[in-house]
Amino acid sequence: MTLMIRFFSLVLMLVAFSVHASDKTNPDTLRVALLPDENAATVIKNNKPLQSYLEEKLGKDIELVVTTDYSSMIEAMRHGRLELGYFGPLSYVLAKSKSNIEAFAAIRKGGSTTYHSILIGNAAAGVDDFQDIKGKDVAFGDVASTSSHLIPKSMMAEKGLKQDSDYREHFLGAHDAVAMAVMNGRAQAGGLSHPIFKSLVSRGIVDKSKVNEIQVSKPFPQYPWTMRSDLAPELKERIRNAFYTLDDAAVLKPFKADAFDPIEDADYDVVRDLGRMLELEFAKN
């Protein structure tokens, strides 16, 4: 009898472990992180259509998450507190170096899955060329931002401009904060996403007469959607299909996208190359 009790106890333990493991790889609630490029409440409000769409397509509860900054988002993914994450190219590379995640989709806009960064200058200060940046204050977004740090900094490096020796850098957290700082003269130059800059101008938030467009960058791979690699295979396939077949304008609007196309990790090697040029430590703890 004692052996029988032990046997059934072991079976129950194994079943409990199996259920727990299954819940982890195929949870009832998916935590979906969005980039903290704007006010968190605004980001979540704008992406309510995405939340509803994924709940319908996946049959699961969707919790939208906006962390305080890129680093917090990377750490949340690293420690398994997120199932899906919408990263910038650099923040994805940083997260990938620390986490078991995979990129699976990226924005398609105008038939392309690439985008550009832009370096702008304060018109009143006469900053309209790279050489005008010398001795000035330059604003970036988040330190882990591709289009608001990595790309504009590499553009200046290619012109022989180095931080500290040629200009003073300041991190303001978000793209719109960079544009406002340059427009208002708190910084004489700054870098941000070109699509975001154009949106700020079209919405009347940035007065284009007060800023100069120094240079638009070459194309870089778009922001990737990522998921935990240890999710159940059938769930991963359903997630991919939900993004690849998405054609709801209300869902796509906050991303300024026409659709989401398949993408893979190798597409971001160009970002890794830039990081090495700027001596970034991708796997730094």
Q: How many CB atoms lie within 10 A of CB 269?
A: 11
**pLDDT for residue 19 is more than 50:** no
Q: Choose between 276 and 104: higher pLDDT.
A: 104
Q: What is the pLDDT of residues 184-212, one digit of tens each?
A: 999 999 999 999 999 999 999 999 999 99
pTM of the model: 0.73
Same domain? For 52 and 99 the reply is yes
Residue 160 per-residue DSSP state: T
Is 203 found in the same domain as 124? yes
- Domain assignment present for residue 209? The answer is yes
The reply to whether 11 falls in a domain is: no
**Does residue 209 share a domain with residue 130?**
yes
- Asked whether residue 13 is assigned to any structural domain, the reply reads no
Is the pLDDT at 176 greater than 70? The verdict is yes
Regarding whether 131 and 105 lie in a shared domain, the answer is: no
Same domain assignment for residues 172 and 86: no
Q: Domain check: are 203 and 232 in the same one?
A: no
Same domain, 127 and 201: yes
Same domain, 127 and 207: yes
Average of per-residue pLDDT across 7-30: 60
pLDDT over 50 at 15, yes or no? no
Going by pLDDT thresholds of 50, 70 and 90, the confidence category of residue 283 is low
Residue where a domain stops, chosen among 218, 246, 270:
218
Q: How far apart are CA 65 and CA 41, in angstroms?
A: 10
Are 129 and 193 contained in the same domain? yes
- pLDDT single digits (tens) 251-265: 999 998 999 999 999
Bridge-based pairing state of the strands 224-228 and 84-86 = antiparallel
Residue pair 102/227 in contact (Cβ under 8 Å)? The answer is yes
- CB of 228 closer than 8 Å to CB of 82: yes
Q: How far separated are the first and last CA of the chain, in Å rounded?
A: 53
Q: What is the mean pLDDT of the chain?
A: 90
Supply the pLDDT for residue 279. Answer: 72
Q: Do 124 and 200 have their domain in common? A: yes
Task: For residue 245, give every residue at least 6 positions away whose Cβ sits within 8 Å of its Cβ, in sequence order, or none.
Answer: none
Residue 8 lies in a domain: no
**Domain-embedded: residue 21:** no
Range of weakest confidence among 7-11, 78-82, 104-108: 7-11
Question: Do 108 and 124 fall into the same domain?
Answer: no
Final residue of a structural domain among 170, 191, 218: 218
- The CATH number covering residue 188 comes to 3.40.190.10
Q: Which of 143, 152, 167, 111 lies closest to 274, judged by CA?
A: 152
Q: Which helix (H) or strand (E) holds 50?
A: helix 48-58
Going by pLDDT thresholds of 50, 70 and 90, the confidence category of residue 183 is: very high
Kindly state whether residue 253 falls inside one of the protein's structural domains.
yes
Determine, yes or no, domain membership for 231: yes
Task: Write out the two tokens for 3.
Answer: 């052996």
The predicted structure's pLDDT at residue 280: 67
Cross-strand partners of 63 = 31
In terms of domains, do 126 and 138 share one?
yes
pLDDT at 281: 62
Between residues 13 and 75, the one the model is more confident about: 75
Mean pLDDT of 170-187: 96
Show which of 197, 218, 239 is a domain's final residue. Answer: 218
Per residue in 158-172, pLDDT (tens digit) is 999 999 999 999 999
Domain that holds residue 148: 117-218
* Total of domains in the chain: 2
